[in-house]
Amino acid sequence: MSQLLNLPCVDHWNVFICILKYIKGSLEKDLLYGHNNHIRIICYSDTDRAGSPSDRRSTFGYCVSIGDNLTYWKSKKQNVVARSSVEAKCKAMASATCSLFGLNSYLNNCNLEKPIK
């Protein structure tokens, strides 16, 4: 929806109303996180090269799990047009890696029994 703010039309408004109705109807739902014996960090990333038909920019996304619990995810359109699928994937992996370093630093500063490696 944020990509459509410059030139919104009636169809965009109808989709926005549907999203708000969904959120209103799901306020009582919760995310359940289970207890794990491990705190292994797992990250998956993917990208589509030139997936946006309007400007040919790639969209990338990644999700991060600690143990079996999904804790962070992101999806974003890349700022520049990638010249190859390898370039698009490298940019996606670089963004995911930066987030992992930040998460690792945060977890190492928490009061955990042992540092995460």
Residues whose CB falls within 8 Å of the CB of residue 60, separated by 6 or more in sequence, listed in order: 45, 46, 47, 48, 75, 76, 78, 88, 91, 92, 95
pLDDT, one tens digit per residue, over 37-48 is: 677 888 898 888
Amino acid in position 45: S
Residue 3 pLDDT:
67
Residue 46: which of 94, 84, 93, 103 has the closest Cα? 93
Residues whose CB falls within 8 Å of the CB of residue 16, separated by 6 or more in sequence, listed in order: 1
**pTM score, whole prediction:** 0.60
Percent of all residues in the chain with a pLDDT value above 90, rounded to a whole number: 1
| Residue 46 near residue 92 (C-beta atoms within 8 A) | yes
